[in-house]
């Protein structure tokens, strides 16, 4: 089950089903469920997800030529959506969304030339693709109820500002902003995982994990895994252990 607010999931599903916009900027802090929302909503609708993942360049591999992150991004955008022959589709298939391109870890650019290349590659992909989602990680989320009404006003996100401004002018994207997972909700779901996996951990220990994760579900689950293996997690009251039931 998704831990994200139901209304936020419904907002994203509405984007998938709408013809009004083909671009969505899905924002939120690290580990708040952006990837889970995309994966679950697309799976339920039979939509194929094509995701951009920045590869790690092997610096010591002399046999291969070096490719910058921007070059890799441009190459992905140029080949991510290759439309099939239209005569092979009926009218229903032409009007339905069968694939979704997800852009995550967008490269950092410096200077007007790199900014122009980033914008051109992204807008070119947007112009050719049925649906595109930019998964944006908010660098700072002090106010968990903060909602950005305009793409151009984002100052604390991982997406370059020049790209947000270009998207706003080009296609008026749909904006879905996810809040960090509340501590109480985090502790509740960690407890559900413990019950399912037969891990005996106190409520106090779960609250410590929820506090330390700062709204990052992936971090909380990793901490729970360490605790379940008998490793200590340090909170305000010192170290705690989570014995596993035998």
- What pLDDT, in 10s, does the model give residues 83-105? 543 434 444 344 445 789 999 88
pTM of the predicted structure, to 2 decimals: 0.72
Question: What is the reported pLDDT for 160?
Answer: 83
pLDDT digits (tens, 9 = 90+) for 21-56: 899 999 888 888 899 899 999 998 999 999 997 766
**Residue 217: predicted pLDDT:** 83
3-state SS, one letter per residue, for the chain: CCCCCHHHHHHHHHHHHCCCCCEEEEEECCCCCHHHHHHHHHHHCCCEEEEECCCCCCCCCCCCCCCCHHHHHHHHHHHCCCCCCHHHCCHHHHCCCCEEEEECCCCCCCCHHHHHHHHHHHHHHHHHCCCEEEEEEECCCCCCCCCCCCHHHCCCECCCHHHHHHHHHHHCCEEEECCCCCHHHHHHHHHHHHHHHCECCCHHHHHHHHHHHCCCHHHHHHHHHHHHCCCCEEECCEEECCCECC
Low-confidence residues of the chain: pLDDT under 50: 84-96, 141-155, 231-246
């Amino acid at each position: 089950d998704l831990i994200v607010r139901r209304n936020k999931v419904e907002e994203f599903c509405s984007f998938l089903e709408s013809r009004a916009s083909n671009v969505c900027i899905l924002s939120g802090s690290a580990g708040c469920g952006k990837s889970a929302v995309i994966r679950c909503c697309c799976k339920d609708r039979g939509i194929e997800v094509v995701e951009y993942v920045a590869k790690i360049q092997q610096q010591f591999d002399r046999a291969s030529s070096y490719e910058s992150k921007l070059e890799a991004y441009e190459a992905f955008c140029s080949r991510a959506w290759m439309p099939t022959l239209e005569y092979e589709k009926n009218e229903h298939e032409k009007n339905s969304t069968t694939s979704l391109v997800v852009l995550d870890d967008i490269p950092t650019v410096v200077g007007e030339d790199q900014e122009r290349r980033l914008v051109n590659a992204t807008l070119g992909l947007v112009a050719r693709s049925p649906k595109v989602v930019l998964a944006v990680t908010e660098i700072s989320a002090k106010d968990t109820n903060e909602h950005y009404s305009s793409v151009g006003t984002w100052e604390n996100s991982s997406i370059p500002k020049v790209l947000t401004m270009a998207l706003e002018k080009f296609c008026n994207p749909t904006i879905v902003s996810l809040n960090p997972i509340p501590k109480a909700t985090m502790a509740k779901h960690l407890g559900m995982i413990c019950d399912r996996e037969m891990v005996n951990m106190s409520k106090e220990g779960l609250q410590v994990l929820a506090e330390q994760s700062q709204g990052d579900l992936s971090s909380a689950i990793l901490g729970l895994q360490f605790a379940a293996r008998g490793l200590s997690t340090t909170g305000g009251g010192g170290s705690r252990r989570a014995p596993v039931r035998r």
